């Protein structure tokens, strides 16, 4: 079986893990999708561009980051297998993205046309349910936990929580990317790692 076929099977399984998707809905959904490889260090979406799609990661790892006026990068999120990277605020407002999405590893992704998805979702209750359950789990609940963690936890607690929540990413990510995500310097992270 080709990587493309495996990727589409994985995507359907991911969708169905939130809410069942019928064959008819799946065929309509597939029609707005495009499978493609993404080389390590290449950008999936760039700051300043108006995106027209979001993606599904079949294999690989993508980081989402913002830059300040001095060019310093701040990692917001990481998207490994089964996740959906995309500049959602930019997509919803048709405005330039304030975030960039870069492949940290060679990746295989499925790009999903956003306008096509919105049209399908408005017409289809199965996709509406998927959207609701996905947003509840991955944006509302996860966002609240992350905001509390950044404000209340010290560097050690943040790192231990990251290890607990993302054990599969600890070995795959360079330490400076983890430090940026935790809101600390690589030197601080090195100290934390020595301490524990």
Question: Which domain range does residue 97 map to?
Answer: 3-136
Question: How many other β-carbons are positioned within 10 Å of the β-carbon of residue 5?
Answer: 10
Are 25 and 117 part of one and the same domain? yes
| CA separation for the pair 176, 190 (Å, rounded) | 10
In a domain, 143, yes or no: no
pLDDT of amino acid 45: 96
User: What are the tens digits of pLDDT across the range 61-72?
Assistant: 999 999 988 888
Domain boundary among the residues 136, 163, 183 is at: 136
Other Cβ atoms closer than 10 A to 83: 16
How many domains, in total, are found in the chain? 2
Q: Within a domain: residue 141?
A: no
Both 10 and 91 in one domain: the answer is yes
Q: Note whether residue 107 is domain-resident.
A: yes
Query: 180 exposed, middle or buried (CB, 10 Å; 0-12, 13-18, 19+)?
Result: buried
pLDDT (tens digit per residue) in 2-53:
999 999 999 999 999 999 999 999 999 999 999 999 999 999 999 999 999 9
Q: Provide the whole-model pTM.
A: 0.87
Do 24 and 90 lie in one domain? The reply is: yes
């Amino acid at each position: 079986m080709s990587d493309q076929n495996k990727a589409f099977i994985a995507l359907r399984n991911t969708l169905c893990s939130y809410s069942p998707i019928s064959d008819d809905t799946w065929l309509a959904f597939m029609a707005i999708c495009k499978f493609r490889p993404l080389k390590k260090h290449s950008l999936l979406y760039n700051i300043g561009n108006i995106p027209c799609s979001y993606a599904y990661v079949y294999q690989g790892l993508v980081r989402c980051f913002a830059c300040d006026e001095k060019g310093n990068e701040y990692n917001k999120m990481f998207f490994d297998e089964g996740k959906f990277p995309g500049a959602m605020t930019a997509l919803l407002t048709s405005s330039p993205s304030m975030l960039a999405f870069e492949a940290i590893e060679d990746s295989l992704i499925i790009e999903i046309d956003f306008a096509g998805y919105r049209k399908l979702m408005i017409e289809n209750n199965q996709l509406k349910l998927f959207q609701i359950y996905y947003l509840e789990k991955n944006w509302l609940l996860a966002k609240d936990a992350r905001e509390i963690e950044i404000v209340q936890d010290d560097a050690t607690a943040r790192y231990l929580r990251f290890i607990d929540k993302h054990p599969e990413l600890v070995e795959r990510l360079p330490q400076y990317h983890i430090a940026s995500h935790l809101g600390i310097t690589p030197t601080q992270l090195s100290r934390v790692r020595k301490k524990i």
